């Protein structure tokens, strides 16, 4: 705002991109109050315009949420693909993924938190899209774990599905307690989280699933 003078650098610094500002404001507000409890007014207040004016940049509150998600989608899929291109063994790959995924959470606390907590407020095609993305994502991670089993760095009996949800949830919890302004350096935490995940995958012994008959018997008692 200060240096609108040299119009050479205008685009890069001086003239703020309002559309981006709106997005950023929405991320903060939605994270702080929750999507449902947050109002468009809140977002407008943070940006510093009247709420009616927001509608130059968005189509609806839901579309605003969706737009935040798209950005996250792009980034998370870029990460997964980067991992898959890595020329290392499966456990290494899982480690690196866990580290970078944690790091993404730590660097984008609010956006990450939204991504996993507010998707239910989407509707129709948007909901379908996000759900599909999520399933695809889980499948790709499951594959990494299966590869570990194949390569012998994880027990054959390890339940891939449970392990997958387990590690995703663990990382998913980061935004609950982590504060960027706190004493914990993000890179360190990411490393520790990767350590914990690798330890879990490497050392969890398989456990036979109970037969359905047994399960039913137990339920009755």
Partner DNA sequence: CATGAATGAGTGTTCATTCAT
Partner DNA sequence: TATGAATGAACACTCATTCAT
By the criterion CB under 8 A, which residues form the site for a second copy? 33-37, 117, 120-121, 159, 162-163, 165-174, 176-177, 185, 187-189, 191-193, 195-197, 199-200, 202-205, 207, 209-210, 215, 218
Contacted by 40, from a second copy, DNA, none: CB < 5 to 8 Å by type = DNA
Closest CA to 125 of 63, 81, 76: 63
With respect to a second copy, which residue has the nearer C-beta, 56 or 150? Answer: 56
Which residues in 51-80 contact DNA (CB under 7 A)?
51-56, 59-62
CA–CA dist 35, 43 (Å, integer): 11
Is residue 41 a contact point for DNA (CB under 7 A)?
A: yes
Q: How far apart are alpha carbons 170 and 139 in whole angstroms?
A: 17
Considering the complex, what minimum distance in angstroms separates the CB of residue 71 from DNA?
Answer: 19
Q: What is the rounded CA–CA span in Å between residue 221 and residue 216?
A: 9
Task: Pick what 60 binds: DNA, a second copy, none; C-beta below 5 to 8 Å, kind-dependent.
Answer: DNA
Which option in DNA, a second copy, none does residue 174 bind, with CB closer than 5 to 8 A by kind? a second copy
121 makes contact, choosing from DNA, a second copy, none, with CB < 5 to 8 Å by partner type, with a second copy
* CB hemisphere CA count around 76 (13 angstroms): 25
- Is 209 a residue that touches DNA (CB under 7 A)? no
Burial label, 27 (beta-carbon count in 10 A; 0-12, 13-18, 19+): buried
Asked if 49 is part of the footprint of DNA (rule: CB under 7 A), the reply reads: yes
Task: Label residue 31 exposed, middle or buried (CB < 10 Å: 0-12, 13-18, 19+).
Answer: buried
79 vs 200 by CB, closer to a second copy: 200
Which one of the spans 39-47, 83-91, 102-110, 205-213 is the region binding DNA (CB under 7 A)? 39-47
* Nearer to DNA among residue 55 and residue 162 (C-beta): 55
* Closest by Cα among 203, 188, 210, 161 to 102: 188
Closest contact distance (angstroms) between CB of 113 and DNA is 19
How many Cβ atoms are within 10 Å of 41's Cβ, its own excluded?
12
Asked if 163 contacts 201 with a C-beta cutoff of 8 angstroms, the reply is: yes
- Binding interface with DNA (CB under 7 A): 18, 38-42, 49-56, 59-62
């Amino acid at each position: 705002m200060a240096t609108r003078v040299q119009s050479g650098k205008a685009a890069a610094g001086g003239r703020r991109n309002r559309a981006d500002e709106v997005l950023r404001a929405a991320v903060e507000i939605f994270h702080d109050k929750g999507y449902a409890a947050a109002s468009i007014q809140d977002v407008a207040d943070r940006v510093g315009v009247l709420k009616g004016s927001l509608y130059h940049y968005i189509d609806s509150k839901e579309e605003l949420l969706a737009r935040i998600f798209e950005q996250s989608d792009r980034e998370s899929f870029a990460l997964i693909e980067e991992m898959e291109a890595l020329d290392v063994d499966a456990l290494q790959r899982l480690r690196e993924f866990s580290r970078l995924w944690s790091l993404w959470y730590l660097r984008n606390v609010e956006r990450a938190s939204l991504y996993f907590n507010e998707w239910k407020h989407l509707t129709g095609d948007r909901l379908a899209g996000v759900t599909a993305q999520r399933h695809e994502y889980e499948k790709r991670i499951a594959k990494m774990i299966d590869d570990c089993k194949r390569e012998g760095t994880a027990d054959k009996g390890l339940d891939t599905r449970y392990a997958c949800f387990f590690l995703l949830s663990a990382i998913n919890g980061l935004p609950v307690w982590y504060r960027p302004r706190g004493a914990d350096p993000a890179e360190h935490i990411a490393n520790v989280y990767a350590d914990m995940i690798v330890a879990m995958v490497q050392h969890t012994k398989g456990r036979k699933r109970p037969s359905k008959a047994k399960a039913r018997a137990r339920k009755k008692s």
